[in-house]
């Protein structure tokens, strides 16, 4: 089972990566690219937060309960990812897609790399 403080650290690193990429985009491409980058990063860290909240199996739980919690949390994460990207592409007409996806991919990479070390 993953330590809750480890989960919070992973999500904080994701937030930091989203902010850094947004600031870089602001300097290079302007406000629209920076906002798009932050939105992409936000999709990454918000869905990780959703996963973390849903993946709460009591310590000492049997393997079936842990696997069930993981599948449920992963399903919620996928559904919210689809919903958030749909919302962005239908409501944010000036979206800079490259910045959006680059920041999302970076936060996703943080999540997967961090899981190796937790």
Buried b / exposed e along 20-30 (16+ C-beta atoms within 10 A): ebbebbbeeee
Mean residue pLDDT of the chain comes to 90
Domain locations along the chain: 4-117
pLDDT at 4: 62
The predicted-structure confidence for 59-74, as pLDDT tens digits, reads as follows: 777 888 888 888 999 9
Report the alpha-carbon distance of residue 110 to residue 118 in Å, rounded. 12
Rg value, the chain, Cα? 15
Report the alpha-carbon distance of residue 84 to residue 39 in Å, rounded. 9
The structure's pTM equals: 0.87
Rounded mean pLDDT of 9-35?
Answer: 96
pLDDT at 5: 80
Rounded mean pLDDT of 52-65?
Answer: 79
Q: Does 27 have pLDDT greater than 90?
A: yes
């Amino acid at each position: 089972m993953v330590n809750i403080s480890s989960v919070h650290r992973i999500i904080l690193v994701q937030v930091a990566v989203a902010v850094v990429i947004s600031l870089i985009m602001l300097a290079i491409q302007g406000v629209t690219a920076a906002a798009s980058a932050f939105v992409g990063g936000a999709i990454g860290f918000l869905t990780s937060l959703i996963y973390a909240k849903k993946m709460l199996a009591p310590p000492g739980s049997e393997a079936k309960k842990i696997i069930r919690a993981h599948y449920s949390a992963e399903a919620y994460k996928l559904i919210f990812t689809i919903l958030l990207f749909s919302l962005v592409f239908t409501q944010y007409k000036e979206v800079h897609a490259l910045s959006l996806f680059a920041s999302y991919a970076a936060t996703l990479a943080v999540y997967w790399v961090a899981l190796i070390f937790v």
